[in-house]
């Protein structure tokens, strides 16, 4: 460990400060040796990479590896295939001859080929030419493979009868150059989780440009400041939702070209919207002909060669994070998307699977710290995540990283310099589980207010959390969204404003608003350095009426459920517009009052089980929720810390939100100078059944 803050070649290594970690969470002191050991392994890895190759060059290996046109129009190919006996290049340029262009074997399993330009000085391999690598396996067989570093791969049309993706060489003469400056890191993320292909009401795969032109203005108007793009890294199976990646450096061609994705990024940044990539480094598709699996003719290469290299539940391959070249590939992959496409950060998928040898399967994670620091923890994977977060934040300080971790590993979202994992946020995955469980298994008058508050606020101190009521997981076929759980029996018949509302629709619209507002405001209850975050999956904001199911053999390749019907929210004759209006208002008020980002720990003053009332203060605002299915309360006394005159700023019962206009927004609420519910002052409110109100102080 370098204690002086430096190592050779001027790599700045800061002295770790574990005491900050132990001060925040004294329970971690019992595991100090393991935390220090993990950090030492991470630091050794970083120093060794830098000494051998220079860390900056290492993480930008995409500039050398793969197939590139040099300044003199020569073609240089550099590949890593340690198990191969020989490597060749074939394609349109050589009439698909298998062995006419052999690679030269280098050290450490690398292979190189340089092809001079043609007699007219142009590159031998033209833009949009098809190419493949040929690997001579240990058994002597010649097999086709796609370049792992390929930036553009395309599936042949169905009419061809072929399904394996082709590497199409991307080298346009007028290559798109990003024009817009990246936006500053938001003080608090309001994330619109999105899938390009379903971003249309038509029965088709939507494109990057359609998303840019049609959806980004909508997202901005709706009050979101960040987009999380799913299923960008190329995946041969559309129905995998992008989680069975076949080509890691190729942005999916089913939505358009690399230039089209860059256009989307420019439109987002022009609108001051921060863009996160859903990155899958936890596993890879088992595809051989158009994936990484058995790339060099062996069962290992990028993956563990034994049982450790397979995820049986996901039917996929698992990376060998101890391998130098795997680290090169994955770290370069992050830099590629940050620099080539201008992404602003990442949401890392499947982090729980990476962190544990059991992949978290069948493990309930009771919260016992021994579960996180025992032999079940995959230290090599944890070190990779530390390294990934280090290089992302070191070379792109404006970037944000989010971990999809259900285990609650302590310090995962603390800086690496403190011995943590280095993530900025983790997903609050227990929150949507709670809401779905309540809607599935409990009657409204059985909801436990204390349990709701506990679940929303139960999180690691000073570790950022992305709170959400539902995400894409709940929208997938086989599950139901909150709106569907609430109203699916009548959503197809009674969502028109021209028909009288029914008890089911009335309840659904009311609870949909309450659930989202309390999750947004209370799900970030304990302030964390850098602010907090809120996430919504596209369409859920207006209660999209149908689940999400991609075209596949089981549904006759239908696109009926692989689309988002935004036209429903835009139709003023339908009640979906009520939910859409409320979602926009909620985002606008957060942007005005900053309850996600102001350093205010908040205070819950009431969790009344019989009345089904929850009251809390946050950022000087007073939130009052009535979850009771039938009871309304007049002159209901609630505690408040600061004396003065208050007024309604947000009211779920407004007519534009599908409410019944039972409250007057012009009423002023005067505090009284006696304590109540642990607060120094109090006031009385009228709080109708299934209504939430937010009050702000307007004067002393």
Distance CA 25, CA 390 (A): 22
Which of 260, 296, 404, 532 is flagged as catalytic?
Answer: 404
CB 346 within 8 A of CB 276: yes
Tokens at 396, concatenated: 């792109």
Say how many C-beta atoms besides its own lie within 10 A of residue 395's C-beta: 16
| Nearest of 281, 264, 282 to residue 273 by alpha carbon | 264
Which neighbouring-strand residues pair with 685? 636
CB 386 within 8 A of CB 327: no
CB 209 within 8 A of CB 290: no
- Degrees to nearest 5, angle at CA 164 with 549 and 283: 65
- In 198-212, which positions are buried (b, 16+ CB within 10 angstroms) versus exposed (e)? bbbeeeebbbbbbbb
- State the SS3 of 398-449: CCEEEECCCCCCCCCCCCHHHCCCCCCEEECCHHHHHHHHHHHHCCHHHCCH
What do you get for the CA distance between the two ends of the chain, in Å?
57
Distance CA 334, CA 343 (A): 9
Helices first, then strands: H and E counts in the chain: 16, 29
Which of 320, 349, 617, 653 is flagged as catalytic?
Answer: 349
Tokens at 485, concatenated: 């759980």
| Nearest of 608, 636, 604 to residue 617 by alpha carbon | 604
| Nearest of 430, 420, 423, 425 to residue 457 by alpha carbon | 430
CB 91 within 8 A of CB 132: yes
C-alpha pair distances (Å), 315 with each of 312, 318, 385? 5, 10, 23
Instruction: Indicate the length of the chain as a whole number.
Output: 700
Which of left, alpha, beta for 360 (phi over 0: left; psi -120 to 50: alpha)? left
Render 623-672 in DSSP notation, one character per residue.
Answer: EEEE--SS--EEEEEEEESS-SEEEEEEETTSGGGT----S-TT-EEE-B
Q: Which residue has the tokens 């609650």?
A: 408
Distance CA 12, CA 4 (A): 9
CB 335 within 8 A of CB 391: yes
Tokens at 670, concatenated: 């005067």
Does the annotation mark 404 as catalytic?
Answer: yes
Which neighbouring-strand residues pair with 682? 639, 672
Does the annotation mark 588 as catalytic?
Answer: no
Write out the H or E segment, with its range, that includes residue 576. helix 576-593
Residues with catalytic roles = 349, 404
């Amino acid at each position: 460990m370098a204690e002086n803050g430096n190592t050779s070649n001027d790599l700045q290594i800061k002295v770790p400060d574990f005491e900050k970690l132990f001060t925040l969470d004294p329970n971690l002191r019992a595991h100090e040796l393991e935390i220090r050991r993990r950090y030492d392994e991470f630091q050794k890895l970083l120093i060794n990479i830098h000494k051998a190759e220079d860390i900056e060059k290492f993480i930008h290996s995409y500039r050398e590896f793969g197939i590139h046109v040099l300044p003199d129009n020569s073609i240089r190919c550099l590949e890593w295939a340690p198990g191969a006996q020989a490597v060749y290049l074939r394609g349109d340029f050589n009439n698909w001859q298998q062995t006419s262009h052999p690679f030269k074997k280098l050290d450490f399993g690398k292979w190189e080929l340089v092809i001079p330009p043609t007699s007219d000085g142009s590159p031998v391999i033209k833009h949009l030419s098809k190419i493949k690598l040929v690997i001579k396996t240990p058994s002597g067989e010649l097999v086709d493979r796609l370049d792992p570093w390929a930036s553009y791969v395309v599936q042949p049309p169905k009419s061809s009868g072929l399904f394996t993706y082709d590497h199409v060489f991307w080298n346009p003469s007028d290559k798109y150059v990003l024009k817009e400056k990246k936006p500053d890191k938001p003080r608090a993320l309001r994330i619109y989780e999105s899938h390009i292909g379903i971003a249309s009401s038509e029965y088709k795969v939507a494109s990057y440009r359609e998303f840019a032109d049609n959806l980004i203005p909508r997202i901005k108007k709706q009050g979101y400041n960040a987009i999380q793009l799913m299923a960008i890294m190329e995946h041969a199976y559309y129905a995998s939702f992008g989680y069975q990646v076949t080509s890691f450096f190729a942005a999916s061609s089913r939505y358009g070209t690399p230039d089209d994705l860059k256009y989307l990024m420019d439109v987002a940044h022009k609108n001051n919207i921060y863009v996160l990539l859903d990155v899958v480094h936890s596993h890879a598709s088992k595809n051989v002909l158009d994936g990484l699996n058995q790339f060099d003719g062996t069962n290992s290469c990028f993956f563990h060669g034994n049982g450790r290299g397979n995820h049986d539940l996901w039917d996929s391959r698992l990376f060998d994070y101890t391998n130098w070249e795997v680290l090169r590939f994955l770290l370069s992959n992050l830099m590629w998307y940050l620099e080539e496409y201008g992404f602003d950060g990442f949401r890392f998928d499947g982090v729980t699977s990476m962190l544990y040898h059991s992949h978290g399967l069948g493990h309930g994670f009771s919260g016992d710290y021994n579960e996180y620091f025992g032999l079940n923890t995959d230290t090599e994977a944890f070190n990779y995540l530390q390294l990934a977060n280090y290089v992302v934040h070191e070379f792109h300080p404006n970037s944000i990283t989010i971990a999809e971790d259900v285990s609650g590993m302590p310090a995962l979202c603390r800086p690496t310099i403190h011995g943590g994992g280095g993530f900025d946020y983790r997903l609050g995955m227990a929150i949507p589980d709670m809401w779905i469980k309540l809607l599935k298994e409990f009657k409204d008058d059985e909801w436990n207010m204390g349990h709701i508050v506990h679940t929303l606020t139960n999180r690691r101190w000073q570790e950022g959390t992305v709170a959400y009521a539902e995400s894409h997981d709940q929208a997938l076929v086989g599950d139901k969204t909150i709106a569907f759980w609430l109203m699916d029996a009548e959503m197809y018949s009674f969502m028109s404003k021209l028909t009288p509302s029914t008890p089911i629709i009335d309840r659904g619209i009311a609870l949909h608003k309450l659930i989202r507002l309390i999750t947004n405001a209370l799900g970030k209850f304990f302030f964390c350095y850098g602010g907090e975050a809120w996430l919504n999956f596209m369409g859920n904001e207006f209660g999209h009426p149908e689940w999400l199911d991609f075209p596949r053999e089981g549904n006759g390749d239908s696109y009926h459920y692989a689309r988002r019907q935004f036209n429903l929210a835009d139709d003023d004759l339908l009640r979906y517009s009520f939910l859409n209006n409320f979602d926009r208002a909620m985002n606008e008020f957060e942007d005005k009052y900053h309850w996600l980002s102001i350093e205010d720990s908040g205070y819950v003053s009431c969790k009344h089980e019989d009345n089904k009332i929850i009251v809390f203060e946050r950022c000087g605002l007073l939130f009052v929720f009535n979850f009771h299915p039938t009871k309304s309360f007049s002159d209901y006394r609630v505690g408040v810390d600061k004396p003065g005159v208050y007024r309604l700023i947000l009211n779920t019962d407004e007519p534009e939100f599908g409410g019944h206009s039972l409250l007057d927004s012009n009423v002023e609420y005067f505090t009284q100078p006696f304590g109540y519910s642990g607060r120094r002052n109090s006031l009385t409110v009228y709080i109708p059944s299934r209504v939430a109100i937010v009050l702000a102080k307007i004067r002393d």
